Chain A
Amino acid sequence: MKKFAYFPGCSLEKIALSYNKTSVETSKILGVELQELEDWNCCGATTYFHVDQLLAYTLTARNLAMAEKEGLDLVAPCSACYKNAYTTNKYFKADPDVAEHINYALEEDDLQFNGDINVHHIMDIYVNEVGVDAIKEKVKVPLEGLKVAPYYGCQIVRPRKNGEDVENPQFFEDLVKAMGAEAVDFAERLRCCGGSLIMTSRTAALDMVRVLLKNAVDSGADVIATACPLCQVNLECYQLQVNEEFGTDFNMPVTYFTQLLGLALGMPKKKLGIGSELVSAAPIFGEF
């Protein structure tokens, strides 16, 4: 069984609790052991970087150091947490001066980081460690006929991590197909949902959400699948505001990919966290 240090991040404690639960459960079914990182701290989202870059790297490095102490690679389900942890790890390894400053500060918490671990998004673990074919074999309830818009968003693919294809990735589509569902041709799948602009520049963010919802409807999707709590909240919880602002009538369910995966893997429906959405996904899940 593959084992990882699990860093759920602040959003998964409550707003995205269904993502947390279904990540843990689907991992179990797929033979991946997630050991929650003890006493983890917030990754800083984008805001540490608005105040101080070294502070941002240091606080993220605290989580990395704790994972390293356990001898485990770090895995995060939130794309923003993943991106921060990944880039901190990368800059730490590339710049001995940054590394020295970080370790000087971490001494105060009796920690030291050596840069000996790797950082993964949970979807990366499923696609590249478990493998799409192995997942396909474990599917008990193929999601036949379900049209899924695979929404990558930003930080799971950008900035580029390690030479991978950032213009035409296919791993999300591959995963959707492994569940027995159809991955629709969703042209705007890599376009930003607005992220924290929903708080700071409301109209701009609602417009960004509108573009994505329209494209998902036009592509014939029954549901949008996401791999990030920011994307999920913006696309789902702010649909009513989008409808008010632009006179649209969107009613598009937006779920975490792990909820769909859980359904396909035969998890009991009541454990999938369905029912906590503002735009109901119950009709979709009721079909299987």
Chain B
Amino acid sequence: MAAKPTFSQEISNLLYASQGSPLKNCIQCGTCSGTCPVVNYMDQTPRRLIGMINANLKEDVLDCNTYWFCASCYHCTVRCPAKIDIAEAMYAVKRYSIWHKTYSEDLVGPTFSETFVKTIINNGRSFEPVLAPTYMFSMGIKEVLQEAYMGTQMMLKGRMPVLPTKIKRLDNFKKVIRRIIPMGGEK
């Protein structure tokens, strides 16, 4: 019987298209944590997160907010002396937590991502006004008020779209998606 992959191996497998070094090459130097502009808001620093993945501390990794606070700025990636693509690794853990629905409910990130992707699948393009209300229930009241104010100001300045733009070959577009992710339904 084939051995069940470890958590560390599962995350590595999710990095299949990345050209960086394996996470195992991490030397725990902390350049990533020293570079990260969001590190003050993370439960665990990027260096610690990589150490935790390598040590198979699955529950501790999935419990922390670190990867959902990654802004994809790639500053760590370009500086890593072990040439690990750390930002891509953060994406890999995000995907793992979305697929397994392990993210904590007070995070807005996963809902935002899922809503955004659904909007694009339905239209082929992004559309801010539809996007906003659907994930706003995940935000705090202060953020919701800020967003409403901002939206109004942007609308007044002519910077908020009123109607969604759809691509012309939307049916084909959806079929393309179905060849990557089978979603049931027709064909």
Q: Which residues of A contact B173 (CB under 8 A)?
A: 41, 62, 109
Task: Convert A7-32 into 0s and 1s, putting 1 for each residue whose CB lies closer than 8 angstroms to a CB of B.
Answer: 00011011111000000000000000
Interface residues of A in 183-211 (CB under 8 A from B): 190-192, 194-197, 199-205, 207-208, 211
> Bound complex: CA of A57 vs CA of B14, how far in Å?
14
Residues of A within 8 A of B (CB-CB), count: 70
> Bound complex: CA of A62 vs CA of B175, how far in Å?
12
Q: Shortest Cβ distance from B27 into chain A, in angstroms?
A: 20
> Bound complex: CA of A233 vs CA of B180, how far in Å?
33
Any B CB within 8 A of the CB of A101: yes
A204 contacts B38, C-beta separation under 8 Å: yes
Give the size range of B's interface with the partner: 35 or more
* B153 nearest CB neighbor, chain A only: A278
* A95 nearest CB neighbor, chain B only: B17
Q: Which residues of B contact A199 (CB under 8 A)?
A: 108, 112, 135
A59 contacts B159, C-beta separation under 8 Å: no
A50 contacts B165, C-beta separation under 8 Å: no
The 10 A-B residue pairs with the shortest CB-CB distance, nearest first, are: A192-B73, A108-B175, A158-B74, A105-B179, A109-B172, A10-B126, A50-B113, A204-B41, A154-B73, A47-B116
B71 contacts A110, C-beta separation under 8 Å: no
Given contacts A58-B180, A158-B74, contact A204 B69 (CB under 8 A): yes
Any B CB within 8 A of the CB of A288: no
Q: Which residues of B contact A241 (CB under 8 A)?
A: 146, 150
Q: Shortest Cβ distance from A256 into chain B, in angstroms?
A: 13
Any B CB within 8 A of the CB of A39: yes
> Bound complex: CA of A95 vs CA of B71, how far in Å?
26
Task: Convert B143-173 into 0s and 1s, putting 1 for each residue whose CB lies closer than 8 angstroms to a CB of A.
Answer: 1001000100110011111000101110011
B17 contacts A195, C-beta separation under 8 Å: no
> Which one of B4-12, B52-60, B90-98 is at the interface?
B90-98
B120 contacts A44, C-beta separation under 8 Å: yes
B143 contacts A13, C-beta separation under 8 Å: no
Q: Which residues of A contact B107 (CB under 8 A)?
A: 200
> Bound complex: CA of A10 vs CA of B128, how far in Å?
9
Q: Shortest Cβ distance from A287 into chain B, in angstroms?
A: 22
> Bound complex: CA of A63 vs CA of B31, how far in Å?
36
* B159 nearest CB neighbor, chain A only: A15
* B146 nearest CB neighbor, chain A only: A241
A59 contacts B176, C-beta separation under 8 Å: yes
Q: Which residues of B contact A154 (CB under 8 A)?
A: 71-75
Contact of A237 among B19, B98, B154, B181 (CB under 8 A): B154
Contact of B150 among A57, A106, A238 (CB under 8 A): A238
Contact of B109 among A44, A201, A276 (CB under 8 A): A201
B71 contacts A195, C-beta separation under 8 Å: yes
Q: Shortest Cβ distance from B146 into chain A, in angstroms?
A: 5
Interface residues of A in 49-64 (CB under 8 A from B): 49-55, 57-59, 62
Any A CB within 8 A of the CB of B139: yes
Q: Shortest Cβ distance from B149 into chain A, in angstroms?
A: 8
Q: Shortest Cβ distance from A247 into chain B, in angstroms?
A: 15
Q: Which residues of B contact A238 (CB under 8 A)?
A: 150
Q: Shortest Cβ distance from B184 into chain A, in angstroms?
A: 16
Any B CB within 8 A of the CB of A159: yes
* B20 nearest CB neighbor, chain A only: A159
Contact of A201 among B17, B41, B94 (CB under 8 A): B41
Q: Which residues of B contact A14 (CB under 8 A)?
A: 128, 158-161
CB pairs A–B below 8 angstroms (18 shown): A11-B126, A13-B125, A40-B167, A42-B125, A47-B117, A50-B109, A51-B114, A53-B17, A54-B180, A55-B177, A59-B177, A109-B173, A154-B72, A155-B74, A208-B38, A208-B71, A237-B153, A278-B157
Any B CB within 8 A of the CB of A248: no
Given contacts A41-B125, A94-B19, contact A15 B85 (CB under 8 A): no
Q: Which residues of A contact B91 (CB under 8 A)?
A: 46, 49-50, 53
Contact of A276 among B117, B158, B176 (CB under 8 A): B158
From A11, A159, A191, A237, name the one whose CB has the most chain B CB atoms within 10 angstroms.
A159
Q: Which residues of B contact A155 (CB under 8 A)?
A: 72-74
